């Protein structure tokens, strides 16, 4: 069982291009600590697990250099990064790091103590020059989520910091040019199949939600465990469950009658109030919510320099847009998003939530919603590089 889980999440890391394949090391506590490979780090992470109340660890090097670059750019007095996107706020709070100078000259036992100290407070830690360690209190899956979240949040923070501060390190431009060549590209969407709506059969609705959920993950518009999806047949909202993986939704979709005649919505996505608000006041029948990275970056970039609002993702009341798409703020759940998102979607069926991602809607099926999300992310990616190059000229 443990070996199958490790193999599964190793393959997901490879698919998502988030971890250098040869660096991926999973550790799982059974009677002894087992791992997925012959590994010189096994004694170190056996000690780490002995010092923690966890059953799984993931140690891997991100495919992009942003974690190390952010540590290098950080104030010498700091020992953690504080991204301001929604995934950090909800899942991580902040990201502790261990500088290279703190571990490379000392014994490995010293590194063990530092890792244990960080993972007692947070779900993951960056070790400069080595990679990221993330923990799972119960499952391998939790360690995978932690690593994927670090990848997303440091991606967003680094690109935002470049817009503010430019390049600060001697070899930084070369690293960035390598990223620009290797990573950003328009996804190939030809060949994707969508069921033509309206879809009225319950089994067909569930099959289509599962298929489009997989598309959304496979094309990089959301990490597996973030985002949500739903379809409304005129009476019932079929919506992904909270904490479900969009690429594995079979058995994790809740039917929620719009009239509230069932309690099945108790396990539904925390964004159910926003989905319900969209359906109640519009012509739409399909909703997709993802966290495409460049859309998140552009939503958080603001030219206002004298703003007194500190918690922008909850309280920003300025009329803002990115690439012509409205940007709204609001708290997850029954708070602000349930009001701001339905209103913003009325005109064009798509909006960006500050630091959180895209909500897109289709009138009769998911093809329209999916293509809207892909289009907005493509435009935001292109706009980001134009904006950065213009800023670097001055």
Do 174 and 138 lie in one domain? The reply is: yes
CB 175 within 8 A of CB 167: no
In-domain check, residue 196: no
Residues in the chain: 394
Q: Are residues 106 and 224 in the same domain?
A: no
Whether 177 and 305 share a structural domain? no
Residue 298: what pLDDT?
A: 96
Residue 146 lies in a domain: yes
Confirm whether 188 is domain-assigned.
Answer: no
Which of 182, 213, 248 corresponds to the end of one domain? 182
Looking at the fold, whether 113 and 213 belong to one and the same domain comes out as: no
pLDDT of residue 302: 83
338 is a domain residue: yes
192 lies in a domain? no
pLDDT at residue 281, rounded to an integer: 76
Both 149 and 272 in one domain: the answer is no
The answer to whether residue 119 sits within a structural domain is yes
For residue 195, being part of any structural domain is answered with: no
Query: In terms of domains, do 168 and 235 share one?
Result: no
Statement to judge: residues 315 and 266 lie in one domain:
yes
Query: Total structural domains in the chain?
Result: 2
pLDDT of residue 110: 84
At residue 184, the pLDDT reads 78
Last residue of a domain, one of 127, 151, 182: 182
Structure tokens at 153: 């949040």
The pLDDT profile of the chain, 394 residues, written as one tens digit per residue, is: 678 899 999 999 999 999 999 999 999 988 788 888 888 899 999 999 999 999 999 999 999 999 999 999 999 999 999 998 888 777 778 999 999 999 987 777 789 999 999 999 999 999 999 999 999 999 999 999 999 999 999 999 999 999 999 999 999 999 999 999 888 778 889 889 999 999 999 999 999 999 999 999 999 999 877 899 999 999 999 999 988 999 999 999 999 998 766 656 678 888 899 999 999 978 999 999 999 999 999 999 987 766 666 666 666 677 889 999 999 987 776 567 888 999 999 888 999 999 999 999 999 999 999 999 999 999 999 999 999 999 887 5
One domain, residues 366 and 237: yes
- 27 and 176 belong to one structural domain: yes
Q: What is the CATH number for 175? A: 3.40.225.10
Same domain, 60 and 166: yes
Among candidate residues 147, 182, 217, the one where a domain is terminated? 182
Asked if residue 259 and residue 178 are part of one domain, the reply reads no
Q: Domain range for residue 380?
A: 202-392
- Tell me: do 210 and 302 sit in the same domain: yes
Would residue 207 count as lying in a domain?
A: yes
**pTM for the predicted model, two decimal places:** 0.94
């Amino acid at each position: 069982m443990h070996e199958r889980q490790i193999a599964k999440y190793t393959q997901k890391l490879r698919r998502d291009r988030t971890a250098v394949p040869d660096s991926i090391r999973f550790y799982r506590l059974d009677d002894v600590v087992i791992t997925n490979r012959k590994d010189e780090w096994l004694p170190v992470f056996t000690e780490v697990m002995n010092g923690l109340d966890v059953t799984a660890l993931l140690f891997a090097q991100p495919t992009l250099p942003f974690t190390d670059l952010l540590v290098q750019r950080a104030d010498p007095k700091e020992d953690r990064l504080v991204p301001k996107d929604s995934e950090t706020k909800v899942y991580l709070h902040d990201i502790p790091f261990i500088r290279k100078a703190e571990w490379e000259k000392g014994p490995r036992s010293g590194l063990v103590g530092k890792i244990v100290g960080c993972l007692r407070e947070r779900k993951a830690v960056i070790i400069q020059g080595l990679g990221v360690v993330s923990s799972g209190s119960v499952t391998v899956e939790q360690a995978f989520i932690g690593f994927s979240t670090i990848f997303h949040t440091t991606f967003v923070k680094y690109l935002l910091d470049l817009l503010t501060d430019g390049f600060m390190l001697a070899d930084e431009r070369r690293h960035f040019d390598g990223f620009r060549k290797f990573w950003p590209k328009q996804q190939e969407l030809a060949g994707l199949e969508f069921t033509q709506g309206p879809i009225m059969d319950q089994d067909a609705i569930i099959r289509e939600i599962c298929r489009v959920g997989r598309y959304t993950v496979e094309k990089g518009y959301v990490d597996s465990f973030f985002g949500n999806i739903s379809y409304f047949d005129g009476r019932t909202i079929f919506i992904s469950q909270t904490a479900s993986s969009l690429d594995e939704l079979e058995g994790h979709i809740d039917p929620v009658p719009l009239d509230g005649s069932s309690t099945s919505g108790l396990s539904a996505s925390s964004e159910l109030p926003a989905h319900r608000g969209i359906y109640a006041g519009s012509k739409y029948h399909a909703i997709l919510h993802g966290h495409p990275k460049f859309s998140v970056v552009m939503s958080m970039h603001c030219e206002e320099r004298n703003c007194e609002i500190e918690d922008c993702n909850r309280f920003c009341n300025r009329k803002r847009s990115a690439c012509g798409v409205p940007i709204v703020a609001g708290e997850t759940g029954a708070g602000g998003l349930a009001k701001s998102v339905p209103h913003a979607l009325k005109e064009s069926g798509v909006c960006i939530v500050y630091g959180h991602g895209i909500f897109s809607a289709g009138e009769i099926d998911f093809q329209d919603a999916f293509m809207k999300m892909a289009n907005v992310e493509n435009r935001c990616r292109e706009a980001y590089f134009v904006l950065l190059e213009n800023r670097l000229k001055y």
